[in-house]
Structure 1
Amino acid sequence: MLKLALFFLVVSLVAGLFGFGGISSVAAGMAKILFFIGIVLFVVFLVLALIAGSAVLK
């Protein structure tokens, strides 16, 4: 997920460099959305792993 966000970030930077403002803003928006989805998934799976790990230790 974060690799895809990085890809959209690079596409946005290259498009902005060449003057394609619309494509650049859409790609930057997608990169931002995918980044935050990746962070939320990371936190959810981290909490689940901590809960499962504490259940195994009991």
Structure 2
Amino acid sequence: MLGWALTFLVVAIIAAVFGFGGIASASAGIAQFLFFVFLLLFVVALVARAVRGKPPV
């Protein structure tokens, strides 16, 4: 999922360089949303691993 967020971020940067403001804005919004979803799932996985009693890696 982090890979998709980075892909949309690169698309947003390239679209902004070429002057496509709408596409750049939409891609940046999607990248931001995917990044926060990834971050949330990462934290949930860390908490679940801690609750189960396994030490963090």
> Hey, what's the Cα distance between the residues in 2 that align with 1:52 and 1:23?
43
Name which one, 1 or 2, has greater alpha-carbon Rg: 1
Within-5 A mapping of 1:5-24: 5-24=5-24
Q: How many angstroms apart in 1 are the aligned matches of 2:44 and 2:9?
A: 24
The aligned amino acid for 1:40 is: L
The CA RMSD measured in Å over matched residues stands at 0.8
Matches within 5 A, 1:25-36: 25-36=25-36
- Count of residue correspondences: 54
Letter in 2 for 1:46: L
Which letter does structure 2 place at the counterpart of 1:38? F
CA shift, 1:27, in A, is: 0.1
Task: Show the counterpart of 2:40.
Answer: 40
The structure richer in helix per residue is 1
CA distance in 2, matches of 1:10, 1:21: 14
Distance 1:53 1:27 in 2: 39
When normalised by structure 1's length, the TM-score is 0.90
- The alignment's TM-score, normalised by the length of structure 2, stands at 0.91
In the other structure, the counterpart of 1:51 is: 51
